[in-house]
Amino acid sequence: MKIAIIGHGRMGKTVENVAPQRGHSIHCIIDKEEDWQKKHQELKDCDVAIDFSMADVVVQNIERCHELNIPVVTGTTGWDDQRLKMIEPLKNSGHTLFYAPNFSIGVNLLFELNRKLSHLIQGHTQYAGKIDETHHIHKVDAPSGTAIALANDIISNHKAYAKWTKEQSQNTNELPVHSERIDEVIGDHKVTWDSDVDTLTIAHHAKNRNGFGLGAIIAAEWVRDKKGYYEMTDMLFA
């Protein structure tokens, strides 16, 4: 495939490094506003665009690619309200969007375990849940998109929780999500269920970014000839 990278930060560079290992070429890199005009022809020739940009420009990036009939795979987080509004229109638009807050295969297995554990443990009211996430000091959003996805899945599968909160709360229906930004930590996520007699934990520790880049490229391979809106569960657990 000829891949366009939109957003040439840490994750964009990771995709750039991993793509040749899967036999693909990086045909176009868009990192600044002027690149959309300067590299229009290169972008037009691409089979798929992989976007790791910023929340305030991701919708415009997607729309620009869709105008050229280019499928988009995005891992940009922090724009959930806008994304949710796009899902239904995309189903019949003839365009393609694949979204994941985290493209790591391991993290998506963690998501699946989290959903199942939340459902199983809800009948055992002695356990209180919480989420801890740690990333590098350059990460803008907190909590991370991955932590928010974990929290929302708990809320959907555990009747005791109505919402998540960044602050420690005395309300038992609020799920605490704690964020830390430390040095160059790639990404750590931990879900804990604590009682007076024991603690149950599921967690994911990223050793490097290659797993995220590989997952994004696998998603691009999978979604290239499809139309509509997709997430990792569609690809991994269909």
Is there a catalytic annotation at residue 138? no
β partners of residue 29: 5
Q: Which of 2, 139, 178, 227 is catalytic?
A: 139
Q: Which two tokens stand for residue 177?
A: 């999500």
Question: Is 178 tagged catalytic?
Answer: no
DSSP 92: T
Smallest CA-to-CA distance from 73 within 192, 231, 186 is with 231
Amino acid in position 89: P
Would you state the structure tokens that stand for residue 231, as one six-digit string?
Answer: 């997430």
Query: If 0-12 CB within 10 Å is exposed, 13-18 middle and 19+ buried, where does residue 69 land?
Result: exposed
User: Would you say the C-alpha torsion 99, 71, 18, 140 has a positive or negative sign?
Assistant: negative
Q: Which of 24, 27, 135, 158 is catalytic?
A: 135
- Positions marked catalytic: 135, 139
